[in-house]
């Protein structure tokens, strides 16, 4: 027995057939509405708590993450539409136009609810991977956004085809005819989608990476990567949002590989005054030997230049420093003290080496300690660091 027949028999038993006939359809509508609303509250009040209870009883945590409150809420929104689509043919058998209109709206809503439920499940799955630190390497948030965008587009096409009673191909053709307008409206989303896919496939960026993008004023850790924004928390705790396309079209530096390898480069120069470069006397060489600044291996009868011995000392100092990576530890690293092209400000002497310390604050402290030593010991070799004359120097010259 159908629902309409049951309502008809019930009303005929209570009223005369003439009085019951006009009340059958309104009663059916009210009953269908009550059943649909009741199905929603049934899911919210019974199915959702029961699902939560059962997922907590299991040993795995994946069911807790996937079938969470958001997923059950999306399912509860789908249940009334399914009940309504099932009972509508019985309620509107004698009202064809009303049945067609409400049926189309109901089916379109079912498409929306299904897409929403799938999107929520995808989000919960990605959150579960990130919770376990398994999704950061592959940047699943961009993949999540791309899949959601594709699902929404499919849902819009199917929903419009249901509402207007057209084939999905015809709706897609209509979108194609207005492609120029759509590309103008959604150009940021399209660019972000393409850039996000490139960043993901080429493994250029992931959550937690330390990046520097001078154009965007970003220098910090990546907090999130979405289709249209990359959020970076700078070291001063400010937040910078960058469009993914900016990272593709312009250059940016990613220091994560440095962190993973555990080797950070130091490349800094000091400028030596040309007038202080000279040959060392025998007394100066003996004094430097007594202080351990020159070894017998450094001695060259024809090359007793103070800058030469200074470079050799710095090379030995760096190779013996406990925080500097040695060549025998990692053949790919370089420990070097070299001269660069002379400049009007003096002769650049560059220290080039790698250290185990990669964190910002300890790294800066290490650099400062090493160059404090460089600045202090350079005078022992009779060398001077170039320094532009200050106002005090100029005043002393004019006074003389």
Residues 26-65: tens digit of each pLDDT: 676 777 777 777 877 887 778 777 877 777 777 777 777 7
Options 1.10.3470, 2.30.30, 3.30.70, 2.40.160; CATH of 210-255: 2.30.30
According to DSSP, residue 321 is labeled -
Residue 84 and residue 104: Cα distance in Å, rounded?
A: 12
Q: Which residue has the higher pLDDT, 138 or 110?
A: 110
Which architecture characterizes domain 262-381 according to CATH?
2-Layer Sandwich (3.30)
Whether this model's pTM surpasses 0.75: no
CA distance 200 to 234: 22
For residue 273, how far is the Cα from the chain centroid? 47
pLDDT beyond 70 at 90: no
Strand ranges, E, within the chain: 210-213, 218-225, 230-234, 239-242, 253-254, 264-272, 336-339, 347-355
- The strand pair at 218-225 and 230-234 is best described as antiparallel
- Please provide residue 337's backbone torsions phi and psi, each rounded to the nearest 5 degrees: -125, 115
Residue 390: CB partners within 8 Å, gap ≥ 6? none
228-237 average pLDDT score: 86
Greater confidence, 88 or 347? Answer: 347
Query: Model confidence over 163-182: pLDDT tens digits?
Result: 777 777 776 676 665 666 66
| Greatest mean pLDDT among 72-81, 260-269, 347-356 | 347-356
How is 196-222 classified by DSSP, letter by letter?
Answer: HHHHHHTT---TT-EEEETTTTEEEEE
Q: What is the mean pLDDT of residues 270-292?
A: 88
Q: Would you kindly state where each structural domain of the chain is located, as residue ranges?
A: 3-201, 210-255, 262-381
347 bridge partner residues: 272
What pLDDT score does 258 carry? 78
The dihedral of CA 155, 161, 163, 164: what is its sign? positive
Greater model confidence, 235 or 391 = 235
Of 86-90, 111-115, 132-136, which one has max mean pLDDT? Answer: 111-115
Averaging pLDDT over each range in 187-191, 218-222, 302-306, 337-341, which range is the top one?
337-341
pLDDT per residue over 173-228, tens digit each? 766 656 666 666 667 777 777 777 777 767 778 888 888 888 888 888 888 877 77
């Amino acid at each position: 027995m159908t629902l309409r027949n049951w309502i008809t028999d019930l009303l005929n038993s209570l009223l005369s057939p003439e009085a019951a006939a006009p009340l059958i359809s309104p009663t059916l509508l009210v009953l269908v509405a009550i059943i649909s609303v009741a199905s929603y509250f049934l899911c919210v009040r019974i199915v959702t708590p029961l699902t939560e209870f059962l997922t907590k009883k299991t040993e795995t945590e994946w069911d807790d993450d996937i079938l969470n409150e958001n997923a059950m809420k999306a399912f509860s929104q789908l249940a009334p539409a399914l009940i309504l689509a099932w009972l509508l043919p019985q309620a509107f058998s004698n009202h064809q136009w009303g049945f067609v209109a409400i049926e189309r709206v109901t089916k379109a809503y079912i498409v929306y609810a299904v897409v929403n439920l799938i999107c929520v499940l995808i989000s919960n799955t990605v959150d579960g991977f990130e919770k376990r630190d398994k999704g950061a390497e592959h940047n699943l948030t961009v993949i999540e956004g791309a899949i959601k965008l594709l699902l929404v587009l499919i849902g819009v096409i199917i929903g419009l085809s249901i509402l207007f009673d057209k084939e999905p191909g015809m709706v897609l053709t209509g979108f194609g005819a207005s492609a120029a307008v759509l590309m103008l409206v959604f150009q940021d989303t399209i660019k972000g989608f393409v850039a996000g896919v490139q960043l993901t496939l080429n493994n250029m960026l992931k959550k937690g990476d330390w990046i520097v993008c001078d154009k965007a004023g970003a220098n910090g850790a990546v907090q999130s990567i979405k289709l249209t924004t990359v959020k970076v928390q700078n070291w001063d705790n400010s937040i910078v949002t960058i469009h993914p396309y900016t990272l593709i079209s312009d250059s940016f530096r990613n220091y994560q590989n440095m962190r993973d390898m555990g080797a950070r480069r130091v490349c800094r120069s000091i400028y030596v005054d040309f007038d202080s470069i000279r040959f060392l006397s025998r007394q100066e060489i003996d004094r430097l030997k007594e202080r351990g600044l020159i070894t017998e291996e450094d001695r060259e009868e024809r090359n007793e230049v103070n800058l030469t011995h200074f470079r050799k000392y710095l090379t030995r100092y760096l190779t013996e420093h406990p925080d500097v990576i040695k060549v025998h530890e990692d053949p790919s690293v370089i420990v070097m003290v070299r001269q660069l092209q002379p400049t009007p400000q003096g002769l650049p002497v560059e220290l080039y080496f790698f250290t185990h310390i990669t964190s910002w604050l300890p790294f800066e402290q290490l650099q400062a300690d090493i160059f404090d030593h460089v600045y202090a010991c350079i005078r022992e070799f009779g060398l001077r660091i170039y320094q532009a004359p200050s106002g005090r120097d100029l005043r002393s010259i004019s006074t003389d």
